[in-house]
Structure 1
Amino acid sequence: MKIIVVDDDPLVCQSLRLLLSRESDMEVIAIASDGEEAIQRCAEELPDIMLMDIRMPGMDGIQATRQIKQRWPQVTIMMLTTFQDEQNIRLALLAGAAGYMLKSTQVTSMAQQLRTLASGTSVVDVNVLKTLTTPEQDDLSGLTPRETDILELVALGCSNKEIAEQLFISEGTVRNTLSIILDKLELRDRTQLAIHYWRRS
């Protein structure tokens, strides 16, 4: 099993390379420190699995995952992170990650989960699963269907232009509707809108 480790902490990369290479069926063939380098290493090495951190300088792990899965859908990506908030989990899985594992995972358990992932079964840490199954209660019932559609596309990271193209409306209409949504939900900006959306029940 060929693995690429992606993390902006060199110590994490080297530790994982050392520990996973002790497994007879695993080989860490490359490391990367950000999303752009991860894409480059993937193109050069074409691994079986990528262990991907989420928060990194420049291109983050979720953006990198989305691009890698678009170009090399056969590459399996496991998110490896300290963050288990619902927004990051859902965005990572939507981007194409097949698993979500915490850095606190024991190496022996990590190796077994990677084998499970390689067999075609998705893997989500039990603590992460609890986060997904007990979300915060946020009500969107006050929004119209069109407002809800726009909010969902904002949460997926779409620009006003992309939203307009997908919904066949003008960018001006998107901007005006976003202002209405912000007023209704008493939120400040697009980031808060995205977080609000992913925390809903």
Structure 2
Amino acid sequence: MTEESVMLRVVLVDDHPVVRAGLRAVLESGGGISVVAEAEDSAQALAAVDRQVGLGEGPDVVVMDIELGGGPSGIETTRQLAQRHPRLPVLMVTTYSSSADVQSALQAGAVGYLLKDASAADLRDAVVKAAQGMTVLPAEIARRALGGTRGLAEALSPREVQILELLVTGRTNQQLAAELFISQATVKTHLNHIFTKLGVATRTEAVAAARTHGIIRG
């Protein structure tokens, strides 16, 4: 497999040229990621994505800011991209951290939310995870979106809490399905919901977060 074949293609959307230059430098510095197009507003972003898709060249991820000058916001642009290209991951990278902004971005279809003060490694890792279809939501951002620790606990359904308690024992998806009398596909759906709500990407992180917030014991 050549380096080109594994290169992740990114469309970068931010209304500040200097910020775009910085983000491009960070994303491309570690190898494996290429910024194939840039846009400073919603119209340019939609056109750039449509063009890349039309050429059959991706993109794999759109990195999007919330504030895009005087036109439609990054959240509205994300909503339009979700309608046009429903399988295209959008990662929100912004300075805005209010719970309303996080919730609006996720509701619009963003797969992740990261602040611009994140480390270079975290930014590149977030892009890779987004391209793999994983949710990218740091714990602090998740708490803001869900209204703090109490909100996290209340956001989890009783079945999701039950699955978290069983994860402590190291059960596989097949074992969980058999014990709970549900399909493995349903188990995977519950796990994805748990990961999203807790802002984690793995079972180990989910258990750790649930313990930290007092959702489960042991």
Q: TM-score, normalised by structure 1?
A: 0.64
- The 8 Å contact of residues 15 and 39 in structure 2, kept in 1 or not, is answered as yes
Q: 2:113 aligns with which of 93, 100, 104?
A: 100
1:12-161 counterparts in 2 under 5 A? Answer: 12-46=19-53, 47-57=59-69, 58-134=71-147
- The 8 Å contact of residues 102 and 125 in structure 1, kept in 2 or not, is answered as no
Structure 2 residues not aligned, in runs of 5+: 1-7, 54-58, 149-218
- The 8 Å contact of residues 3 and 30 in structure 1, kept in 2 or not, is answered as yes
Task: Give the total of aligned pairs.
Answer: 136
1:95-125 Cα offsets, whole Å, 9 max, x none, are 1000000000011111112111211110112
- The 8 Å contact of residues 81 and 101 in structure 1, kept in 2 or not, is answered as yes
1:101-152 Cα offsets, whole Å, 9 max, x none, are 00000111111121112111101123211212336xxxxxxxxxxxxxxxxx
Q: Please, what is the CA RMSD of the aligned residues?
A: 1.5
Say whether 1:4 aligns with 2:11.
yes
Structure 1 residues not aligned, in runs of 5+: 136-201
More displaced 10-residue stretch of structure 1: 13-22 or 75-84? 13-22
Q: TM-score, normalised by structure 2?
A: 0.60
- The 8 Å contact of residues 101 and 125 in structure 1, kept in 2 or not, is answered as yes
**Percent of residue pairs identical:** 31
